[in-house]
Chain A
């Protein structure tokens, strides 16, 4: 009799990719920590102290967290009506979904440059407002937090649409009819049934988008400029322009910690929000 239980060469082959992944992941994390805590060949917490003490660095962290939260909330708020529309549009759902996702076919950098064309001091929006006579001199729409928020929101709204739509589609088809026949108006049905049942999707979107934002690099560089750094773009600068790997590593470790703490906080809020559900 042949037993399938014994580990065959095939099983070993299956473990291999996992091993590679583990080695690469933990290897790089270990490398990151050794870089972050060593400077000029000896143990040092210099760059961590720098981050703790310099108020301009505090601003970078504050900007990253606040802007990311704003982007996450804004994306969910903008995506919710779109998701509702797609949910309602039975026959057109797939077509409309493609329209929502088409921007993803264009590279992030190209799309962000598109925003520069729109938001720049001599960009389409400023020219148009000037032409209307609403403004005298160009309004600053980019190289500030506003530009970063607009750019990131644009990139991340489709994520939110998909996440919210998924949870709307999970609502059993005739819960709305049941609510109606029990006496609820369309608005009451939305408020008491559809909205609470779509919350898990909306909150997942909020979480994913927030986490994607605090690690963002390209959009803050292009739309924030040198003066409005995110943690991600700060690290990019340390690596690419000042070649200070230890400093970059220290920042990366802090970003990792920030993500981790954020995730724990968001998860506990989610638990409280969806208490008693399965």
Chain B
């Protein structure tokens, strides 16, 4: 699958590459990671995304060397890391709580790793200055950690790791404690720094928006497994299973049953009526007549039309009632019901747009080619959405 937005021709032994092959980790009876394999290209920004408890932080700590895997291998820059302590690995890490040294000043925090490497005082001073400048903290070197704002602390943690010029930087939800405005600002800043240094960033988050915004490659994890890895847009457009489809972006999920399967086509029975879709709409499973499944449509694939509109060629059209209407930053979102089934649509707001009021009867139209059909979620994954399978 063509996933990453990396320039081709980079091999696994270049500085900054990570090869994870068949890694597993158990704590007692709980399997936290099962047989995880993943390749990370040098200089890329990769996000491990998933709900809490999906194993993303465990995977990060395995890469860092704080814990040992029960099976499989991790290679960094082509070198097997088995048995190597964190200090022997070419990595830096930014912790969720930042773990800044409270008894050091800002500059002393950044200089710590350089002093351990016994660099000359002059070289340390110039590097500290350069990296404080890089993270926009020039002139704050003498401050105590307790005198800094949340965003400034964040950047000290970043500078402290980056000053050692690791080929890989691991970031464990470093933005989760900040408020939205600051977070957006730092997301952009982080991405800029990553691009400038060409360091491989492995970023852990549970925020799908953050992940899609920043990453070259998103790795969606759930229940100790990688559900899908790829460029954010590819994952959004062609999710491999229902978990990924629901976790990334909004989704209309309609319970359905496969009524008939033939060469190249299949028929689905659902609250939207009887719909024929290409057989290839079935993702990650073999369609069998009578099987329960989920019929999925992204909100932007649904178009609201006046009740009197005639169906366009090939489009499916069903009658619905408007429940609510929201205008959100240039787009209009409609909440509809079609029988018992709730649907949401989103479209750009413009002068000619059809904007039905709540209570109005309208038609919902979509191209059956945009329908994606998935197997229902297993119990372990449904939990992430607060559902029961």
Interface residues of A, Cβ cutoff 8 Å to B: 172-175, 177-185, 188, 192-193, 196-197, 276-278
Which of B38-46, B95-103, B223-231 lies at the binding interface? B95-103
B93 & A183 in contact (Cβ 8 Å cutoff): no
Q: Does B117 contact A (CB under 8 A)?
A: yes
Number of B residues, CB within 8 Å of A: 26
B93 & A181 in contact (Cβ 8 Å cutoff): yes
Interface residues of B, Cβ cutoff 8 Å to A: 64, 66, 85-87, 89, 91-93, 95, 97, 99-103, 105, 112-113, 116-117, 144, 146, 160-161, 164
A177 & B86 in contact (Cβ 8 Å cutoff): yes
When A172-B97, A174-B97, A175-B99 are in contact, do A183 and B85 touch as well, CB less than 8 Å?
no
A184 & B99 in contact (Cβ 8 Å cutoff): no
B25 to nearest A CB, angstroms? 17
A270 to nearest B CB, angstroms? 14
Q: Indicate which residue in B99, B144, B164 contacts A178 across the interface (CB closer than 8 Å).
A: B99
A179 & B112 in contact (Cβ 8 Å cutoff): yes
A20 to B351 Cα, complex, angstroms? 81
A182 & B113 in contact (Cβ 8 Å cutoff): yes
- Report chain B residues within 8 Å CB of A276: 105, 144
B102 & A174 in contact (Cβ 8 Å cutoff): no
Identify the closest chain B residue to A276 (Cβ): B144
- Report chain B residues within 8 Å CB of A196: 103
- Report chain B residues within 8 Å CB of A192: 112
When A183-B164, A184-B116 are in contact, do A177 and B99 touch as well, CB less than 8 Å?
yes
Identify the closest chain A residue to B91 (Cβ): A181
A172 & B99 in contact (Cβ 8 Å cutoff): yes
A154 to nearest B CB, angstroms? 32
A182 to nearest B CB, angstroms? 4
A182 & B97 in contact (Cβ 8 Å cutoff): no
- Report chain B residues within 8 Å CB of A277: 102-103, 144
5 A-B pairs with least C-beta separation: A182-B113, A178-B99, A181-B86, A183-B116, A278-B146
- Report chain A residues within 8 Å CB of B161: 182
Identify the closest chain B residue to A175 (Cβ): B99
B287 to nearest A CB, angstroms? 48
A271 to B180 Cα, complex, angstroms? 39
When A172-B99, A188-B116 are in contact, do A178 and B87 touch as well, CB less than 8 Å?
no
- List 18 additional A-B contacts (Cβ < 8 Å) besides A181-B93, A182-B113: A172-B99, A173-B97, A177-B95, A180-B85, A181-B64, A181-B87, A181-B89, A183-B87, A183-B117, A184-B112, A184-B116, A185-B87, A188-B116, A192-B112, A197-B103, A276-B144, A277-B144, A278-B146
